[in-house]
Structure 1
Amino acid sequence: MLRILLFLGTNIAVLILLSIVCRLFGIDAWAAQRGVGMGGLLVYAAVFGMGGAFISLAISKWMAKMSTGAKVIKEPANENERWLLDTVRRHAEKAGIGMPEVAIYDGPEMNAFATGMSRNNALVAVSSGLLQQMDREQVSAVLGHEIGHVANGDMVTLTLIQGVLNTLVIVAARIVGRLVDSWLNGGRERDGGGMGYFVVVLVLQIVFGLFASMIAMAFSRWREFRADAAGANLAGRGAMISALQRLSANHGESTLPQTIQAFGISGHLATGLKRLFMSHPPLEERIAALQSAR
C-alpha cells in the first residue's frame, strides 16, 4: 500500500507543481489574455506533460546508478562477473540490440531492472541477492527478461504513455476549470481565471491523475508478460518459469527506489481496487501464462 501511495503521490505532485508554477508565473493568465485556443493549449500541455517524462527517461541510467549504488562491470573482477557479461552479451545479440551496460547493486531481495534511453543505450542491473539465491539457469532467464524489456522498447513506450496521459490531464483539467469558473462568474470569463478555476484545476488534476495512473499501470502489467515471453525465448521456458517460482521466496519491501520499481522484475501485490495500481501482475499469473503458451 505504501508503494502505491508513493507512486500516486509522485505523479500527482508533479501535476500540482505544474499548476502552481503556471499560476505563480502567470502562464495561465498569459494564455487566457491572448485567447490561446485548443491548439495552443495542447502545445502548452505537451511541453509540460511530455517534457518532464522524457527528461526523466534521458537521465534514467544516471539516476538508477546513483539511487541504487549500482556498480557497472567494466572489466570483470571474477568468473561470476565474466559469466554475467557473457550471458547479457549473448542475449543482446540474439535479441538484436546493442550491448547494455551491466551492473550489480547491493540488495537482499532477488531483483533486477533495465532502463535507458534506447535499445542501444541501456542498463541492465541485478541485485546481489539475486546472484546469491538463484542458480545460473534462473539468473540467465531473469537477464533474458530484462533484455526483453530493452528489445521491446518498454522504457520509451511507458514514458511516452505517461507523457501523453499527463498532457491529457493538464488539458482536461483546464478546460473543465474554465467552464466551472465561468459558471461561478455568471457566465463571464475572466482573464487568467479566478480562484474557482485554480481550485478546480488542482482537484481535477488529482482525480484525472488517478485514472491516468491506472492506464499506465495496466500497460506496465501487460509488458511484464511480454518480457517473460522474451526471457523464455532467450533462456528457455523452463528456466523462466523456474526463475519466477524462485522469486516467490522474496519477502518484505523492495529496496529499489520508487522511481525505478516499475522496471524491476517483480513488484508489490495488492487486492481489490488497489490491483489497478500494480505495476506487475501476480507471479502465479505470469507463471500460468508461460505454462499455457504454445
Structure 2
Amino acid sequence: MTDASFDTSANNNTHPGEAQFGDYFALLKPRVMSLVVFTALVGLIAAPVSVHPFIAFCAVLFIAVGGGASGALNMWWDADIDAVMKRTTSRPIPSGKVEPREAMALGLALSGFAVIMLGLASNWIAAGLLAFTIFFYAVIYTMWLKRWTPQNIVIGGAAGAFPPMIGWAVATGGVSVESVLMFMLIFMWTPPHFWALALFMKSDYKEAGVPMLTVTHGRKVTRAHILVYTILLAPLAIGTGLTSIGGPIYMTTAVVLNAMFLWGAVKIWRRPEEAAEADKYRVEKSFFGLSLLYLFLHFGAILAEAALRPYGLGGW
C-alpha cells in the first residue's frame, strides 16, 4: 500500500469472519468484468475459426476471472484513493469488510489460475495476452500511470481493450488486423468516455490526488481533448465496418452512433463552464451515458454480423 495510515485504519476496522462472498466478488469489479466477458465473446465469435462451445465457454470464463483478478489487485493498491473518493468509499477494502492483504492474495491467486487454465483450455498465445493484460492494468496503469500522468486514461485504456483480441486469439491462435481494430475501438473510446465522467466528478479526483486531466489542465482543455479523440475515433469505428468483421448492420450502426457521438462531443466542447454548473452537467452526463451505449452497440453489431454470416445474411 502507498498510504500507511490507511492500512492501519483498515486493519483496525476489519474483523475476521465479517466478509461475505459478495464482498470478495465485489473486489473483482463485476461491472467491468461484464464488459470484459462481452467483448471477449464477440472477439471469439467474430473470428473466422470456429471453437467448440465448451472450450469457448471455458475460455471466456477464464478471461473473466483474469479481468476480475486485475480488478482485485487494483482495489488492493488503490485502497487509499478509494477511501477518499465518494463513489468508491463503499468498496470492500475502504469499508473495512476485506483486508488489503486478502485482496492482494485473491488477485494474485486468480491471476495465476486464469492464465494457466486459459493456456490449457485454448492456447498459450491467448494466455500470454491475458497475462500481459493483467500486468498492464495492475502494474503499468494502477501502480504507475494513474498517479503519475494526466494521460493515465489514454495509455491505461489499453488494459480494457485487450479482451476482444484475447477472444480472437483463443479461436485463431494469433492476432490479425480485425482483432487489432477491435482493440483500437475500445482504446480510442476510453479517453472521451472517462473524461466525460471526470468533468462532473472533478472534486473526487482532486481530493484523491489523482492527476486526471480535469485536475491538471482544467475542464476547458478536457472538453477539447474529448472532441479531438472523438474525431479520431469516428473514422476508425466506421473503417472497421469495411473489414471481414463488418457488414451492413455494423456500418449502419457505426455511422449513426458516431454522428451522435461527434455531435455530443461538439456540444461538450462549446459548453461554457457556467452553463454546465447551472444544469448540473446535464450534457456531460448524457454524453457519458451515450458512451456506454456506443461501445455496447458497436460490439453488438459485430456479434450480429458474425451470427448471421453462416446464413448468408451477415458481412459484405
TM-score clears 0.5: no
The structure in which a higher percent of residues are strand is 1
The structure whose Rg is larger is 1
Task: Answer 1 or 2: higher relative contact order, Cα 8 Å, separation at least 6.
Answer: 1
Structure with the higher helix share, 1 or 2: 2
